[in-house]
């Protein structure tokens, strides 16, 4: 089915939306993005994604594109036009088109594009049975707090995981897990939820922030600290969080079974809480 997408002020059939070969997103990965989930045709965590987008632009001295103030309306219109019930809206802003040069161009017009993806988010195989991860060296750049479109290494990690018969990779740097290739990583010991603290080493997940808030409100114990791959392999439970997975239980790490090899109690409870609370706040 032909989607309607948004490009620089226009709603267009997907095969008519065209971007210049000189666009710096294309030539230099000079762009930032956000993925906002859609549940029951409504947007989850829109304000959080918008704030992080503004921060990413600021960190890269990138101008806001025209239409920035209408982003909520554009998201909603795309969801409506494409009749999305479950899935997400992908948004990308690049510095725009300019002759190839490492120096930022002075007068390029930023490119803004958005499109929707419909897919089941709730009752998936992974949410029922859990997923498996391997470890991979975290060789990404040092500003993982900025959500840039430099996604080749995460893509390679997913391929490494696939080749090893697993679903994803958790990245390891200086002996500690940083995060998943496209999600934040957590382990559970006893009833304590352990996840790495915020820094430039990881993306500050919007799902992570809300999840930790809801967990605290539910009197669950949280420890924000580094954890090692060995600690992860011997944890009682493990899970990931992201806009597209919410909370997803991890039941195997580098071939080692976690807990009973089925989604753990804490992970399942957190998934329920997260989905309930986000649904209530969806717009
Ligand atoms: N990925 N860490 C990384 C490296 C990510 O790429 C993501 C999100 C997250 C979780 O962030 P949030 O909870 O705000 O989605 C953590 C998105 C979903 C993606 O690239 O498709």
Express each pLDDT in 58-92 by its tens digit: 999 999 999 999 999 999 999 999 999 999 999 99
269 and 144 assigned to the same domain: yes
Q: What is the mean pLDDT of residues 182-189?
A: 98
Pocket lining: 157 vs ligand 1, CB cutoff 6 Å = no
102 and 139 assigned to the same domain: no
- Tell whether pTM > 0.95: yes
Among 133, 183, 209, 211, the mutation site with the greatest number of ligand 1 atoms within 8 A of its Cβ is: 183
Query: Above 90 in pLDDT, residue 100?
Result: yes
Angle at 18 between CA 17 and CA 23, to 5 degrees: 135
77 and 12 assigned to the same domain: yes
Residue nearest atom 9 of ligand 1, based on CA coordinates = 183
Ligand 1 centroid – CA 148 distance (Å): 11
Residue nearest atom 16 of ligand 1, based on CA coordinates = 183
Whether 51 is catalytic: no
- Out of 128, 147, 189, 213, which one is annotated catalytic? 147
CATH of the domain at 189: 3.20.10.10
88 and 38 assigned to the same domain: yes
Domain end, chosen from 118, 141, 157, is at 118
CATH of the domain at 78: 3.30.470.10
Residue 125: pLDDT band (50, 70, 90) is very high
Instruction: State which residues form the domain around 85.
Output: 4-118
Work out which ligand 1 atom sits closest to the CA atom of 202: 2
159 and 252 assigned to the same domain: yes
The DSSP element (H or E) to which 106 belongs, if any, is none
Task: Name the residue among 87, 92, 167 with its Cα closest to residue 125.
Answer: 167
177 and 213 assigned to the same domain: yes
Q: How many domains is the chain built from?
A: 2
129 and 87 assigned to the same domain: no
129 and 97 assigned to the same domain: no
* Residue 1 pLDDT: 81
Distance of CA 261 to the CA centre of its chain: 25
Q: What is the mean pLDDT of residues 110-135?
A: 97
198 and 75 assigned to the same domain: no
180 and 74 assigned to the same domain: no
Q: What is the mean pLDDT of residues 260-275?
A: 97
Among 203, 247, 248, the mutation site with the greatest number of ligand 1 atoms within 8 A of its Cβ is: 203
Among 242, 246, 248, the mutation site with the greatest number of ligand 1 atoms within 8 A of its Cβ is: 242
Pocket lining: 179 vs ligand 1, CB cutoff 6 Å = yes
Q: Rounded to an integer, what distance in angstroms lies between the CA atom of residue 70 and that of residue 194?
A: 38
Domain end, chosen from 63, 95, 118, is at 118
Helices of type H across the chain: 24-28, 46-59, 71-81, 125-129, 152-163, 206-217, 229-233, 265-281
Domain end, chosen from 95, 118, 141, is at 118
10 Å CB burial of residue 179 (0-12, 13-18, 19+) is buried
17 and 35 assigned to the same domain: yes
22 and 63 assigned to the same domain: yes
């Amino acid at each position: 089915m032909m989607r309607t997408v948004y490009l620089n002020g226009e709603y267009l059939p997907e095969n008519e939306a065209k971007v210049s070969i000189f666009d710096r997103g294309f030539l230099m990965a000079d762009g930032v993005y956000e993925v906002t989930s859609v549940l029951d045709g409504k947007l989850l965590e829109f304000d959080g994604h918008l704030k992080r987008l503004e921060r990413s632009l600021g960190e890269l001295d990138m101008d806001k594109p025209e239409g920035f103030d209408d982003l909520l309306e554009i998201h909603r219109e795309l969801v409506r036009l494409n009749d999305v019930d479950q899935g997400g809206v992908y948004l990308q802003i690049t510095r725009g088109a300019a002759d190839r040069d490492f120096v930022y161009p002075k007068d390029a017009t930023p490119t803004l594009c958005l499109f929707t993806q419909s897919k089941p988010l709730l009752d998936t195989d992974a949410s029922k049975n859990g997923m498996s991860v391997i470890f991979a060296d975290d060789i990404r750049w040092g500003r993982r707090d900025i959500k840039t479109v430099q996604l080749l290494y995460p893509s390679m990690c997913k391929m490494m995981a696939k080749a090893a018969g697993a679903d994803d990779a958790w990245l390891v740097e200086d002996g500690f897990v940083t995060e998943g290739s496209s999600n934040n990583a957590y382990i559970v010991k006893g009833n304590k939820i352990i996840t790495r603290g915020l820094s430039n080493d990881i993306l500050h997940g919007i799902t992570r922030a809300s999840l930790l808030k809801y967990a605290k409100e539910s009197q669950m114990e949280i420890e924000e600290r580094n954890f090692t791959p060995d600690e992860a392999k011997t944890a009682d439970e493990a899970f990931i969080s992201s806009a597209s997975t919410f909370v997803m239980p991890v039941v195997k790490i580098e071939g080692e079974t976690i807990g009973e090899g089925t989604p753990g109690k804490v992970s399942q409870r957190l998934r329920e809480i997260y989905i309930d609370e986000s649904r209530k706040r969806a717009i």
